[in-house]
Structure 1
């Protein structure tokens, strides 16, 4: 048994002007409550009052009243609902028990005679559509799309980090090589400086000439270093220009591949969407009005018309027994719109036409929703393409600006290189003029030392650049674990969303088949071996195209006296068997959508087609799944209920 809403408190209802009730107060304890009485004794009206406090709109106001009111006192909480007659029907207000699950409760918890889920089995209605109706499949698909986008972003980022990780060993190798080369150069420079010191101590020269020569050598060394730096900068600028030029070409190629859509086409799509929305709203309003008309007339046909016939006959002084005979013989009712006697068959035929019209309009609404989805997808795709084009153009402008700046910098660097080259040549000539046989060897040593110092600075700069790249990569790789965890979470959520609809379908089928087997065993129908649902794929038209769509197929397996089994159809089930099958289908929906956690009441009515003993066993079975099970029964059927917690005979 599933967990459910539990309370030890009784539920106290105060009802005024609902259905056929003038005013009443009824207290129900948890468990099974039997509303025992004949037809037209306000049992269905009281069930509607319970539905009203839960938040249902399927409630009728008393015919001669302008306002009705229902209160539910449950524990320390008070829930209210007011019904007010307006020009267009009946409006509701108040503070009901349910905030947003009332439609689901109407389908699977409030199982009155005209309950849609209960009747779906015998009316050739799409059983899967009934079960899946409370599931917002569009929201699930939107979530899937958003998560797929996020997962794609994470995948790209993780791929970038993997590429950086592959670069790291090469950078670390380069760092080791540079450090070793630096150490070797430092040792070589130290040796060269020691050699210069040795030669300087042996040379007897003019201090003034020596200072001038050393100054020129220092200046020459600085100019050469500056010249090499400028040359390196020129190489870097040229590499950057080549890279930016490639990027510019790629951006232009991608822009060329994008269609240059116009705002006029978008305007046409928006106009078409507005038209379809207006049409859908109009059709939905018509469907709602048809539903209200159907509900009102079904309720009047079930309770009101019979009461009206009885009242009119008794008022004229005719014996009540004769009236009953007349009802049985003629099967006529007093029309609640014109007051004349009308065959029940004619009214039911009209209601069938209204149901067919409602079904046709609902089908049109679904086609419109398909068209709207397709148009929205087109609009979204075009908007995405337009945004991408805008992003590419902005990026291209930035690349072009950067190219212009780099070209200008390159020109400046080249001018600087030429200037330094000329200065180096002039300094070399000056040094050559100062050289003598005595200073020739030491000058060569100084030149070599200058070159070693320049090489040291170049190596140090390269090492700093490599170490900076390694630090940046290590900092970026620090988020890899977090990104992997986030990607795994999104992947799990995507898997759950992609299978959620199928999970709900599978659970619904499992619940129905399991409980149907159990109930058939309890109720002991003689020649029914099994009633079960199978999920199948069918080719259906959806809008203007054909698609494969899941459906629930109901199977009935019977057996003969000789033990042979064969598959039968719903039409060949007895009325009792049909009623039980419909109730178990509704129970499957009740369990799949977890109504036992949010709706404390399950309501049953119109069980006359099932014999008393089976009603008692069925009620006992269903009582495990709701805190309050309220059942409307005829007196003779009510006598079979042995484990009831309360019985209400007058309302």
Structure 2
């Protein structure tokens, strides 16, 4: 769909078989174009031609033609529309100017049938028409989506705020761990220096020292391995305990199931039986209704009366068995089959019994439907419980298998721990043999060194964990600025959506009141002081609830000859005043919905109720807001318009 700022070139319109037109080609110009002539000179048909080319479906095909076409060309662009009669309907095809003509139909194509003009003539609610192009359901959906996004953003920002509050404590922990690592490292360096300082010059002493260092290295490796085994063992025990808790919960849930519950398959038989009975009642009710309607129609024509044996057997039989006999002995009604006279009261009494019987069968059918619904719900519940029970049993089997595997693994780890502890005991026993007067200090130094090296590993691991957490938080916090910007955007969009309808209503009212005041001052209608719209809230019923809705109330203020003002109604406006009011309201919609950005044309027709001088003033006023204004006028009305306009006298 094109959206030019303005029409800058001449406009060529060619048409075949549109309205009352056989074939025509007309050239228009930007600004005001006046179609003049007597009545029945295809001026309205030509306006419909332009509408069709612009995208409207409110154009007609010539009565004796099966197909028609329209071409519209301006600003080096061409738009074509085809009309074809198929199965009694007119089908549109081609490449029109507008994909969606709704706004143009409402506020730019101002022919006599225009909805804005008709709404003012009828005195209907103007608010509904001005808001017709607004998809309030779509706005509500957008609001719901943005509210959900805003809640998500709020949650994420709250999480980031909590993470941000963790940073000081984490950074303090990291600093403490760095200090401890530095202190421990310095102490390790001192102990290693002490070991190097011991005087073990002779070769035997060197060999002895190697043995000592090897023994303590083995002891350190064994202790590290023991720590790993104990960690794995603790992990397996925790997993085992968690599985046991889950197993206990599932077993409790399984015990809650009743082994004696009904079978859903057995209930299915009862449901089918009830449905069969309901179908039988449906047939009976339908036949009863047919009999009742037939007798009511005949009664209205003084025709037939039926008597009914109201026993249960008759009630449950076919519709043909519902009528026992033809009633006679009355001068009021003639039997349509035998021609005898029957009393009208007996007919009405029979119909009352038929209606009562039908009502009882309807009640029985309703009861059956409730029982069917209850049994169907029970079926579904039983199937769900059976499925849930199967899922629990399957999960319990998997848990038992997992418990068995983990139990074996725990036993293996306990055995490994005992074996490793025994190995450590042996290594410690070996190390004690080196504790003599000559190497006692060396041995103690080795022990302290081993302890500190293990402690250093733990400290470094803790520091790395803290550092990783800090980097993780800092990485997430980097996104906070983007999230805050997005939240501000969402908040602004929500505000815009929530106030969009209100703003459109307010703008429409302001536009109408402003232009109506200007138009009235120009046209100088006698004793009309003001025509204006007031927005007000009113309570209406929607279904079972009352809701508050906005309404546009049109006020008309007049002044009497003695200077007294009073409020009048739309019904008392002259035809001329009413047409001007409708056109101004359409202009307000044209401006509020920015129709000029969608289509640069406005079409005016059926202005005969307005005198020629006022038509001239009205056209001049509208000209300011439209790129190309096309007006259809009688020749005598056109004489009052400016000579600078483009005039088309033959179509």
TM-score when normalising by structure 1: 0.70
2:432 corresponding residue in structure 1: 432
Q: 1:569 to 1:174 in 2, by over 3 A?
A: same
Q: Deviation at 1:206?
A: 5.7
Structure 1 residues 239 and 181 mapped into 2: Cα distance closer, same or farther (>3 Å)? farther
Residue aligning to 1:627: 627
2: CA distance, partners of 1:596 / 1:480: 42
Q: Which residue of 2 aligns with 1:332?
A: none
Report the alpha carbon displacement of residue 31 of structure 1 after superposing the two structures with TM: 1.7
Alpha-carbon deviation of 1:584? 0.6
Q: Spell out the pairing of 1:102-113 with structure 2 (5 A cutoff).
A: 102-113=101-112
Offset at residue 61 of structure 1 (A): 1.7
Q: Within 2, Cα distance between the matches of 1:249 and 1:477?
A: 42
- 1:187-243 residue CA offsets vs partner (Å, 9 max, x unmatched): 222333344444555999866555444432222222223334554566677789999
Corresponding residue number in structure 2 for 1:277: none
Q: Give, in angstroms, the shift of residue 129 of structure 1.
A: 1.8
- Equivalent residue, structure 1, for 2:326: none
String of CA shifts for 1:517-546, please: whole Å, max 9, x gaps: 111111112222222222222222334543
Once the two structures are superposed, the pairs formed by residues 514-529 of structure 1 within 5 Å of their partners are: 514-529=514-529
Go from structure 1 to structure 2 and tell me whether the alpha carbon gap of 1:237 and 1:170 turns closer, same or farther (over 3 Å shift).
Answer: farther
User: Could you tell me how far apart the structure 1 residues matched to 2:24 and 2:472 are?
Assistant: 78
Per-residue deviation, 1:406: 9.1
Q: Are the structure 2 counterparts of residues 214 and 604 from structure 1 closer, same or farther at C-alpha, using a change threshold of 3 Å? A: closer
Structure 2 CA distance for partners of 1:188 and 1:553, relative to 1, 3 Å: same
Distance 2:497 2:41 in 1: 48
Q: 2:364 — aligned with what?
A: none
Cα distance in 2 for partners of 1:203, 1:522 equals: 126
Return closer, same or farther for 1:236/1:533 CA change in 2, 3 Å cut-off. farther
Q: CA deviation at 1:580?
A: 0.8
| Counterpart for residue 122 of structure 1 | 121
Separation in structure 1 between the aligned mates of residue 121 and residue 583 of structure 2, nearest angstrom: 11
1:4·1:596 contact (CA, 8 Å) conserved in 2?
A: no
Which residue matches 1:15?
15
Instruction: Write the deviation string for residues 42-97 of structure 1: whole angstroms up to 9, x where unpaired.
Output: 22111111111111111122222222222223242222222222222212222222
Match of 2:187?
188
Q: Which residue of 1 aligns with 2:52?
A: 52
What is residue 275 of structure 2 aligned with on the other side? Answer: none
When residues 213 and 518 of structure 1 are mapped into structure 2, their CA distance, relative to the original with a 3 A threshold, is: same
Gap change, CA 1:567 and 1:440, over 3 Å in 2? same
Distance 2:46 2:606 in 1: 14
Q: How far 1:145 moved relative to its partner?
A: 2.5
What TM-score does the superposition give when structure 2 sets the normalisation length? 0.70
SS in 2 for 1:56: coil
Tell me how far 1:515 sits from its aligned partner: 0.9
Question: For residue 592 of structure 1, what is the aligned residue in structure 2?
Answer: 592
Structure with more contact order per residue of length (Cα contacts < 8 Å, sep ≥ 6): 1
How many Å apart are 1:150 and its aligned residue? 2.7
Contact 2:20 2:45 in 1 (8 A): yes
1:140 aligns with 2:139: yes
Question: Per-residue deviation at 1:421?
Answer: 2.4
Q: Counterpart in 2 of 1:511?
A: 511
Residues of 2 paired with 1:246 and 1:488: CA distance? Answer: 47
Note if contact 1:200-1:442 (Cα within 8 Å) is conserved in structure 2.
Answer: no
- In the alignment, the residues of structure 2 paired with residue 38 and residue 236 of structure 1 have an alpha-carbon distance, to the nearest angstrom, of 100
The equivalent residue for 1:617 is 617
Q: Is the 8 A contact 1:10 1:29 kept in 2?
A: yes
1:415–1:174: structure 2 CA closer, same or farther, 3 Å change rule? farther
**Structural mapping, 1:356-367, within 5 Å:** none
Q: Could you tell me which residue of structure 2 aligns to residue 420 of structure 1? A: 420
Taking structure 1 as reference, are residues 66 and 481 closer, same or farther at Cα in structure 2, changes over 3 Å only?
same
**Is residue 99 of structure 1 aligned with residue 115 of structure 2?**
no
Deviation at 1:162, TM superposition (A): 2.1
Match of 2:551 in 1: 551
Call closer, same or farther: CA 1:415–1:449 in 2, change over 3 Å. same
The C-alpha deviation readout for 1:426-467, integer Å capped at 9, x for no partner, is 322333344334433432232222211211111111112212
1:174 maps to 2:173:
yes
Partner of 2:641: 641
Task: Please give the secondary structure, in 2, of the residue aligned with 1:621.
Answer: helix
Count of aligned pairs: 504
**Aligned ranges 1:100-499 → 2 under 5 Å:** 100=100, 102-199=101-198, 201=200, 210-231=209-230, 416-499=416-499
Matched-pair contact (CA < 8 Å) for 1:21–1:46? yes
Structure 1 residue 626: deviation in Å? 1.4
The more displaced of 440-449 and 233-242 is 233-242
Cα 1:243–1:596, aligned 2, differ >3 Å: closer, same or farther?
farther
After superposition, the Cα gap between the structure-2 partners of 1:192 and 1:95, relative to the gap in structure 1 and judged at 3 Å, is: closer
Distance in 2 between residues matched to 1:241 and 1:639, nearest whole Å? 101
Query: What is the CA–CA distance in structure 1 between the aligned matches of 2:625 and 2:516, rounded to whole Å?
Result: 15
Change (3 A) 1:66 1:209: closer
Shift of 1:623: 1.0
Report if aligned partners of 1:15, 1:21 keep a CA contact under 8 Å in 2. Answer: yes
Match of 1:39 in 2: 39
Query: Helix, strand or coil: the match of 1:140?
Result: helix
CA contact (8 A) 2:200 2:206 kept: no
Deviation of 1:588 after TM superposition, in Å, equals 1.0
- The CA distance in 1 between the partners of 2:530 and 2:244, in whole Å, is 74
Indicate the structure (1 or 2) with the bigger Cα radius of gyration.
Answer: 2
Alpha-carbon distance, 1:38 to partner: 2.7
Q: 1:481 to 1:400 in 2, by over 3 A?
A: farther
- Equivalent in the alignment of 2:382: none
Q: Structure 1, unaligned stretches of length 5 or more?
A: 251-388
Equivalence for 1:581:
581
Task: Work out whether residues 33 and 644 of structure 1, in 8 Å CA contact, stay in contact via their aligned partners in 2.
Answer: no
Secondary structure class of the residue paired with 2:92: strand
Aligned-partner Cα distance in 2 for 1:510–1:407: 81
Aligned to 1:71: 71
Distance 2:241 2:632 in 1: 86
Larger displacement relative to structure 2 (197-206 or 170-179)? 197-206
